[in-house]
Amino acid sequence: DCNFSYRSSIFRSTESGHYAILSVTLQFQKTPLQPPFYDSLQKRFDQNNITNFTPQIIRENVLAIRADKLPNPSTTPNAGSFFKNPIIEAWKVDDIRSNGYSDLPTYPVDETYMKIPAGWLIEQCDLKGEILHGIRIHDKNAVVLINQSATGYEDLKNAKDQIISAVSEKFQIILEQEPLELVPPTQIPTL
């Protein structure tokens, strides 16, 4: 019913802005899943010679990967990945690589489009580890923004805008915010 897929659902498309999700109950298959898995999970399985892909083993390894890449939000205030990985046309990837960025990592989407890591773009703008308007760009994963000393939404908005502007200026790519913003109840339009 919700059309869940990787970072997508009806709550990001046809029903965007209509609901706030307070809890979720999911039912998973119990049979082992088959590789290949996403890149960092597959690498972890290969390095540790894991060949039994039960949901429990997959869960444990996904949590371990996330713990290594993302700060714990209960001790370090953050919302996880703040920017989506942009999907751009393959010719644009070639253009970026020919301008001195031959190490640009990419993931094919189809014959025409490639996904590139937003964190890599932010790193190339020398923003990794920087503090902008009280928001620190995580030193391990540049798509994670941490509230270091920000005092309100305006600080977050200004930091976000500065990051988007830096990436746009350098690569002509507009980063898109990942987390949805909730509108205060006083600003919800009446029908």
Q: Quick check: is 43 in a domain?
A: no
pTM for the predicted model, two decimal places? 0.80
**Cβ–Cβ under 8 Å, residues 90 and 140:** no
Q: How many domains does the chain have?
A: 1
Question: Any catalytic annotation for residue 178?
Answer: yes
**Domain residues for 150?**
78-191
- Spacing of C-alpha 135 from chain mean position: 17
- 164 is a domain residue: yes
Task: Look up 7 and say whether it is catalytic.
Answer: yes
SS3 of 145, please? Answer: strand
Establish if 48 belongs to a structural domain. no
Assigned domain for 185 exists: yes
Question: Which one is predicted more confidently, 27 or 113?
Answer: 113
CA–CA separation, 33 and 54 (whole Å): 7
Domain CATH code at residue 148 = 3.90.78.10
| 67, part of any domain | no
- In this structure, is the dihedral angle defined by the CA atoms of residues 142, 147, 149 and 152, taken in order, positive or negative? positive
Q: Residue 93's pLDDT band (boundaries 50, 70, 90)? A: very high
Position 184 in a domain: yes
Distances (CA, A) of 103 to 26, 48, 90, 97, 166: 39, 27, 15, 7, 19
Q: Which of 7, 59, 66, 97 is catalytic?
A: 7
Residue 190, pLDDT score: 56
> What is the residue whose two structure tokens read 């020919």?
98
13 is catalytic: no
> Quick one: which H or E segment has residue 174?
none
Q: Single out the catalytic residue among 12, 44, 123, 178.
A: 178
Residue 25 lies in a domain: no
In sequence order, which ranges of the chain are alpha helices (DSSP H)? Answer: 39-47, 55-69, 90-98, 118-124, 153-171
Q: How confident is the model at residue 191 (pLDDT cuts 50, 70, 90)?
A: low
Q: What is the DSSP string of 93-140?
A: HHHHHHTT-TT---EE-SSSEEE--HHHHHHHTT-TT-EETTEEEPSS
Sheet with 135-137, strands from edge to edge, namely 78-81, 144-147, 135-137, 131-132
Using CA atoms, how far apart are residues 172 and 127, in angstroms rounded to an integer?
17
Of 44, 81, 102, 169, the catalytic one is: 81
Neighbour tally for 183: CB within 10 Å? 10
Residue 28 inside a domain? The answer is: no
pLDDT band at 183 (very low <50, low <70, confident <90, very high): low
pLDDT digits over 71-88, tens only? 988 899 888 899 999 999
The two structure tokens encoding residue 110: 């189809």
pLDDT at 45 over 90: yes
**Averaged confidence pLDDT in the chain:** 90
**Which of 3-12, 24-33, 126-135, 143-152 is least confident?**
24-33
